[in-house]
Structure 1
Amino acid sequence: MRSKRSLAGAAFAVTVLLGGAVSMTIASTPSGVTPTVLARGTYDSFKVMSYPPGEGMFKAEAKQPVDVVVRRHDYLAGGSTGWHAHPFPVFITVTQGQLTFYEYDDPTCTPHVVSAGEGYVDSGRGHLARNETGQPASDTSVILAPVGGAFRLELTAPGPFCDF
């Protein structure tokens, strides 16, 4: 009985390792994008809202401490972040040029074109940013993440609805 459990455990471990290796080979990696972490800080739990409350009401709550990561991305013409997700919300401001965002789970693969001075909020279900222009572009992202944890998770490519 014990050897069957050991064999099953070993088979499971091999499956996990092979599955990880396969997903690593088909993961969507960044291309033509240089990321730079500008700052990372840990915040205590919080609950905030706009004051005075009104039509433009904003609320945010972290029930446990979180890290806030500020990261700049510089894109060459044709650059792409690759398909990825984040564990918590991300607020992206395009600071130069124009970027096109695609949602991983959007069956229509609708492009969301964002120009310098405009922002984009990640859906939390995965996305990709592309510089579909012939000019350089940049963005600055404010990323919430688990304390000390990863703030980017690679997704397989192509996306389920887009052919890139």
Structure 2
Amino acid sequence: MKASTIAQLKKELQHRSPDELLNLCLRLGRFKKENKELLTYLLFEAGNESGYIESVKEEVDEWFGEINTNSFFYIKKSVRKILRNIKKYIRYSGNKETEVELLLYFCQKLRNFRPSIQNNTALFNLYQRQLTFISKKLDALHEDLQYDFGQALEDLKEP
């Protein structure tokens, strides 16, 4: 079965009743965890973006606390998983400010992580790529936010 385009889906959804739409959303939520998470964000978190950011930061703190520090192999796997989850949460929000704030927080946590990421090339390169990515995203923000986030970014770039 070939998936329909967004335009086709939109056109078809406009012809459905509210009850049918409700049933479609609930059925969609049953199939994948990501669908449920997105629905949860849209229904409960979208109105309070700062609360959403704080809850994601708390999860990031928990994830960093659970990292197995026995070898850099486990650290790399865990850090990549944390970054993948953060990017998923950023996709749910779709807000550029949220994206920059969460990625800056991730970089701060990674920089302060012990054992130091300076001792591992792959982790250090991942950190540098995120800083470059953040600096590119800053241009799309309001001037005041650019300044605030730019200061935080410069602090992270210092050795």
Which structure has more helix as a fraction of its residues?
2
TM-score, normalised relative to structure 2: 0.28
Q: Which has the higher contact order (CA 8 A, sep 6+)?
A: 1
TM-score, normalised relative to structure 1: 0.27
